[in-house]
């Protein structure tokens, strides 16, 4: 698995910065980027899966009972799920650190 | 060695690409590069060259297709000129940082406006920081030789960088010159099949061209800088090997008739041949004049330039491009930077000549010499001179 970026020295880099370890992007937690997080109102959710389908980061999962939840380690808070949601059951809530 | 024959220089370059047995050519025709890619297209269509010829809709696409092709491990070639190189510019920086060993001929032509199809170095100078190795050929035979050497330099695993071979549009590209062919077996031994470090293949997946955060970007640039600096030794190795095989020896900075010279012309590209003729004439008149030809432009051979140019009193540097609003010619600027570390610096006269293919006969070089000598007498000269400009 890769080191944190700030630990790499010039000599540690592959020529052309080729990444020869498939799938190692998962150690990079892009969820740090978000300023808003999606929150589902399960009273209004019809379990259609449009949010899951549209998420560009595959960061939405179906949980027990058929409702949806975001993996906040990877969710960048882009808001596409909230925009696409048919019943408008997703609200983007300000991320408080 | 076969018999020497006359051949158009563009066709010599196509022959070199054929001998290099390239796998993929992606190119878009533009004057004065056209004859090279037209001939390659014929060679592929007629079955003389087993390669994929991709007809693209622009130079931006040509270089993008080359990036993908080289990434799979295919030996890849393209050629362009002028506006075409500008349209490629975005991808030039990408393939060099991705260390894809593509070889490209740039048949140097002016950048518009005004629209002009003729020769100068404004196209390549606009892209001088794109991170490619850059070589300037002086003659037709050298354009052929450097094309073959370029593949060997680029694909060497210690280098793994793309290479541009520059040749002056029309002055070289459309002229019939003597051509000494090289046998296929000689090239086969000289240039082994491309054995890339990484390839795009599902059996061993890799990511090429990923993004980098600011925490990593500086290190990636330094790695690129180190790679191109270190390529200098391999370039010399390859040229030495080619010299042993063919008797045609190339060095990054070449001197002509410099013994006892106090004044030298400094040129790049086809001015080298003109310069030799001028030096012969001036020497016949008893003038202590020589010539220094710069063949390797990137990596810029600082040490060789210092070692050579520090011997002389006066440098007459002839540029084929103007850095508008800058300080004259781009080659002069870089040489001046190299000279700064000397305690006793030579006088530098910067001449900008031959823009948009304006004819530069030997007499113009002699005028430059006289102007410089006059300047020394008066101890006053301009930062640069636009040769022959009507004011």
Q: How far apart are CA B369 and CA B387, in angstroms?
A: 12
**CATH number of the domain bearing residue B264:** 3.40.50.920
Interchain contact, A5 vs B215, CB within 8 Å: yes
Together in a domain, B180 and B292 = no
Which pLDDT value is given to residue B292? 98
Together in a domain, B329 and B357 = yes
Inside any domain, residue B391: no
Q: What ipTM does this complex have?
A: 0.89
How many domains would you assign to chain B? 2
Which pLDDT value is given to residue B152? 98
Question: What is the residue whose two structure tokens read 């086969």?
Answer: B188
Together in a domain, B183 and B161 = yes
* A20 touches B at CB < 8 Å: yes
Residue B1 has pLDDT above 70, yes or no: no
Both tokens assigned to B269: 């590209």
Together in a domain, B203 and B290 = no
Return all residues near B229 (Cβ < 8 A) that are at least 6 apart. Answer: B299
In this prediction, residue A1 has a pLDDT band, given cuts at 50, 70 and 90, of low
Residue A62 has pLDDT above 80, yes or no: yes
Inside any domain, residue B83: yes
8 A C-beta contact, residue B301 and residue B133: no
Interchain contact, A22 vs B205, CB within 8 Å: yes
Together in a domain, B168 and B289 = no
8 A C-beta contact, residue B289 and residue B263: yes
Closest Cα in chain B, distance from residue A66 (Å): 35
**DSSP H helices in chain A:** 50-54, 80-84
Both tokens assigned to B253: 């900075």
Closest Cα in chain B, distance from residue A43 (Å): 40
| Lowest mean per-residue pLDDT among A14-23, B7-16, B128-137, B159-168 | A14-23
How do beta strands B176-179 and B133-136 pair?
unpaired
Residue B2 has pLDDT above 80, yes or no: no
Q: How far apart are CA B57 and CA B42, in angstroms?
A: 19
Q: How far apart are CA B366 and CA B148, in angstroms?
A: 35
Range of the domain at B316: 253-386
* Best B223, B229, B230 residue to mutate vs chain A (most A CBs within 10 Å): B223
| Lowest mean per-residue pLDDT among A24-28, A88-92, B65-69 | A24-28
Return all residues near B310 (Cβ < 8 A) that are at least 6 apart. Answer: B339, B342, B346
Final residue of a domain: which of B212, B230, B246? B246
Closest Cα in chain B, distance from residue A63 (Å): 32
Which pLDDT value is given to residue B353? 98
* A9 touches B at CB < 8 Å: yes
What would the pLDDT profile of B262-308 be if each residue is shown by its tens digit? Answer: 999 999 999 999 999 999 999 999 999 999 999 999 999 999 999 99
Nearest CA in chain B to A19: B207
| Lowest mean per-residue pLDDT among A24-33, A56-65, B305-314 | A24-33
Query: Phi and psi for B310 in degrees, rounded to 5?
Result: -70, -10
In this prediction, residue A75 has a pLDDT band, given cuts at 50, 70 and 90, of very high
| Chain centroid, CA B207 distance in Å | 31
Q: What is the mean pLDDT of chain B?
A: 97
Residues from B contacting A (CB-CB < 8 Å) are 97-100, 160, 197-198, 204-208, 210, 212-213, 215-216, 219-220, 222-223, 226-227
**CATH number of the domain bearing residue B109:** 3.40.50.970
In this prediction, residue A97 has a pLDDT band, given cuts at 50, 70 and 90, of confident
Residue B354 has pLDDT above 80, yes or no: yes
Together in a domain, B146 and B272 = no
- Looking at residues B84-110, what average pLDDT do you find? 98
In this prediction, residue A39 has a pLDDT band, given cuts at 50, 70 and 90, of very high
Together in a domain, B359 and B292 = yes
Which pLDDT value is given to residue B279? 98
What would the pLDDT profile of B316-332 be if each residue is shown by its tens digit? Answer: 999 999 999 998 899 99
Percent with pLDDT over 70 in chain B: 100
What would the pLDDT profile of B364-380 be if each residue is shown by its tens digit? Answer: 999 999 999 999 999 99
Together in a domain, B232 and B285 = no
In this prediction, residue B77 has a pLDDT band, given cuts at 50, 70 and 90, of very high
* Best B71, B161, B216 residue to mutate vs chain A (most A CBs within 10 Å): B216
Q: From the CB of residue B249, how many other CB atoms can be counted at a distance below 10 Å? A: 11
Final residue of a domain: which of B225, B246, B267? B246
Inter-CA distances, B288 with A5, A76, B185, B256, B279, Å:
58, 70, 45, 12, 9
| Chain centroid, CA B359 distance in Å | 21
* Best A2, A6, A12, A17 residue to mutate vs chain B (most B CBs within 10 Å): A17
Interchain contact, B223 vs A10, CB within 8 Å: yes
Together in a domain, B211 and B341 = no
A8 contacts in chain B (CB < 8 Å)? 216, 219
| Complete domains list, chain A, with CATH | 29-94 (3.30.70.20)
Closest Cα in chain B, distance from residue A90 (Å): 31
In this prediction, residue B133 has a pLDDT band, given cuts at 50, 70 and 90, of very high
Whether the pTM exceeds 0.90: the reply is: yes
Both tokens assigned to B315: 């440098």
Which pLDDT value is given to residue B55? 96
Conformational region of residue B137, where left means phi above 0, alpha means psi within -120 to 50, and beta covers everything else: beta
């Amino acid at each position: 698995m890769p080191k944190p970026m700030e630990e790499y020295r010039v000599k540690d880099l592959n020529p052309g910065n080729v990444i020869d370890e498939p799938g190692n992007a998962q150690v990079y937690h892009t969820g740090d980027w978000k300023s808003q997080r999606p929150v589902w109102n399960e009273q209004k959710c019809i379990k259609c899966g449009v949010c899951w389908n549209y998420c560009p980061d595959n960061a939405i999962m179906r949980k027990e009972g058929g409702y949806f939840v975001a993996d906040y380690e990877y969710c960048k808070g882009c808001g596409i799920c909230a925009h696409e949601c048919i019943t408008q059951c997703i609200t983007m809530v300000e991320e408080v650190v | 060695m076969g018999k020497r024959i006359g051949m158009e220089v563009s066709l010599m370059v196509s022959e070199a690409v054929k001998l290099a047995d390239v796998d993929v050519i992606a190119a878009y025709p533009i004057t004065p590069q056209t004859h090279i890619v037209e001939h390659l297209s014929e060679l592929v269509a007629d079955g003389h060259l087993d390669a994929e010829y991709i007809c693209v809709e622009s130079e931006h696409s040509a270089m993008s297709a080359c990036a993908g092709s080289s990434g799979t491990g295919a030996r890849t070639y393209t050629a362009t000129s002028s506006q075409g190189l500008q349209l490629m510019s975005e991808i030039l920086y990408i393939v060099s940082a991705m260390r894809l060993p593509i070889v490209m001929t740039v048949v140097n032509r002016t950048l518009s406006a005004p629209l002009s199809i003729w020769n100068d170095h404004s196209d390549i100078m606009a892209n001088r920081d794109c991170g490619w190795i850059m070589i300037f050929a002086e003659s037709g035979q050298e354009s052929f030789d450097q094309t073959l050497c370029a593949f060997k330099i680029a694909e060497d695993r210690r280098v793994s960088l793309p290479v541009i071979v520059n040749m002056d549009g029309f002055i070289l590209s459309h002229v019939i010159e003597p051509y000494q062919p090289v046998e296929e077996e000689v090239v086969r031994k000289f240039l082994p099949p491309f054995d890339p470090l990484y390839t795009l293949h599902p059996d061993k997946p890799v990511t090429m061209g990923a993004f980098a955060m600011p925490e990593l970007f500086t290190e990636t640039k330094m790695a690129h800088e180190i790679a191109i600096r270190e390529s200098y030794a391999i370039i010399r190795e390859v040229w030495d090997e080619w010299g042993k095989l063919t008797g045609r020896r190339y060095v990054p900075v070449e001197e002509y008739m410099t013994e006892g010279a106090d004044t030298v012309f400094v040129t790049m590209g086809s001015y080298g041949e003109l310069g030799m003729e001028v030096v012969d004439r001036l020497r016949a008149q008893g003038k202590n004049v020589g010539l220094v030809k710069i063949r390797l432009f990137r990596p810029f051979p600082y040490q060789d330039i210092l070692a050579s140019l520090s011997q002389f009193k006066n440098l007459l540097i002839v540029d084929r491009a103007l850095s508008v609003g800058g300080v004259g010619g781009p080659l002069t600027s870089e040489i001046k930077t190299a000279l700064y570390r000397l305690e006793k610096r030579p006088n530098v006269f910067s001449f900008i000549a031959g823009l948009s293919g304006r004819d530069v006969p030997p007499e113009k070089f002699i005028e430059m010499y006289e102007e410089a000598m006059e300047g020394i007498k008066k101890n006053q000269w301009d930062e640069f001179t636009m040769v022959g400009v009507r004011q």
